[in-house]
Structure 1
Amino acid sequence: MKYDPDNHHRRSIRLKGYDYTSAGMYFITICTYQRECLFGEIVDGEMQLNELGQVVAGVYLWLATQYSYVHLNAWIVMPNHLHGILVLTDDPRRGVSRNAPTEDATTRKSLGRLVGAFKTVSTKRINLIRDTSGSVVWQRNYYEHIIRNEKSLHDIRRYVHHNPISWQQDQLRPDNPSR
């Protein structure tokens, strides 16, 4: 089907006017393309990562080593998605690796660009393992929620922690009949 800008336009789901480079806590969910279960399986209520899931976990951890203003809070890799709380700070960590670039206001990545970096690096590594150069791994967009208070942070942490236990009812599970 030929692209028609009058019919094929994407509406942003981001908060209009919000600065996503600003310090704050953000709950993100990133799903695989067509919600394909690539990263392992849930066994007895616990996520068991396979090789691709370990790649995803490693690249997510890489974000905090690559960007000194990024801190990771609760997170989990699920069979077909990742949930995480990314904390962007104004004060970079002390003792950052000499290999990590220094950031200023002009080089600081927005939340969307951080998610983009995660998707790019993890996709390249996954496709290298699968010998599927150029294959799509992730859905085009991602879900985000700005965490505004301690109660919300507590509730989201609990949700992330209990996500494997509730996999059978998870809306992101491809064979969930309630979808």
Structure 2
Amino acid sequence: MKNTQGMICMDKLPQRKNIRLKNYDYSQAGYYFITICTKGRQNLFGEIVEADDPVCPKQVMKANKIGKIVCACWNKINDIYDNVRTDSFCLMPNHIHGIVVISEGGQSRPPLPKIIQGYKSVSTRMCFKYNIKTIWQRNYHDRIIRNQQEYLKIYEYMENNPLKWAEDKYYIK
């Protein structure tokens, strides 16, 4: 908005909502469930197809070249930080789910937002050769996994996500 002198009033600009927990140290050891969507929820990573298994027919995610890059970059997180590892991962046509584990020790514990920012940046740059300049939405969703029961529930959700694609809140045909 502009004031009477025609200057922009910074305090009147709309503020982005901070979706991280207030006063929580995202560099502390723990398990974090992450969801990152593509910009505009575009189906950039592949498609859900019927599996080639006559004994147990089910739907599976078939990654395209962009999806394969996104997966490879996720796995590279393990090589970058001493005390950070990736756990379960689920690639979907227009989003990913993953679990990031930050452990005690190491030189320093990077905060989760820095880890995700680096992941998004590297995976986007790797896709420049395919004329894709923007992959990700601006933010991401996280959930601190508080116990084994919650971990198992999230793991099962990720495992079954391709089976329920048409019911998924991120589903866009």
1:116 aligned onto 2:143: no
- Give the alignment of 1:27-176 within 5 angstroms: 27-44=33-50, 45-92=59-106, 104-105=107-108, 108-128=109-129, 130-132=130-132, 135-175=133-173
| Residues in 1 aligned to 2:114 and 2:125: alpha-carbon distance in whole angstroms | 16
Q: CA deviation at 1:123?
A: 0.3
Moved more, 76-85 or 4-13: 4-13
| Residues in 1 aligned to 2:111 and 2:137: alpha-carbon distance in whole angstroms | 19
Q: Percent identity?
A: 38
| Residues in 2 aligned to 1:162 and 1:83: alpha-carbon distance in whole angstroms | 12
TM-score relative to the length of structure 2: 0.86
Aligned residues: CA RMSD: 1.7
Gap runs ≥5 in structure 2: 3-7, 51-58
Q: CA deviation at 1:5?
A: 4.1
Q: CA deviation at 1:126?
A: 1.0
Q: What letter is aligned with 2:85?
A: H
| Residues in 2 aligned to 1:118 and 1:83: alpha-carbon distance in whole angstroms | 13
Larger Rg, first or second structure (1 or 2): 2
Moved more, 64-73 or 118-127: 64-73
Q: Secondary structure at the match of 1:116?
A: helix
Q: Secondary structure at the match of 1:140?
A: coil
Q: CA deviation at 1:6?
A: 2.1
TM-score relative to the length of structure 1: 0.84
Q: Secondary structure at the match of 1:12?
A: coil
Deviations for 1:107-152, whole angstroms, at most 9, x for unmatched residues?
x321001000000000001122x134xx221000000000001110
User: What does residue 101 of structure 1 align with?
Assistant: none
Corresponding residue pairs, total? 159
| Residues in 2 aligned to 1:39 and 1:5: alpha-carbon distance in whole angstroms | 39
User: Which residue, out of 16, 36, 59, partners 1:10?
Assistant: 16
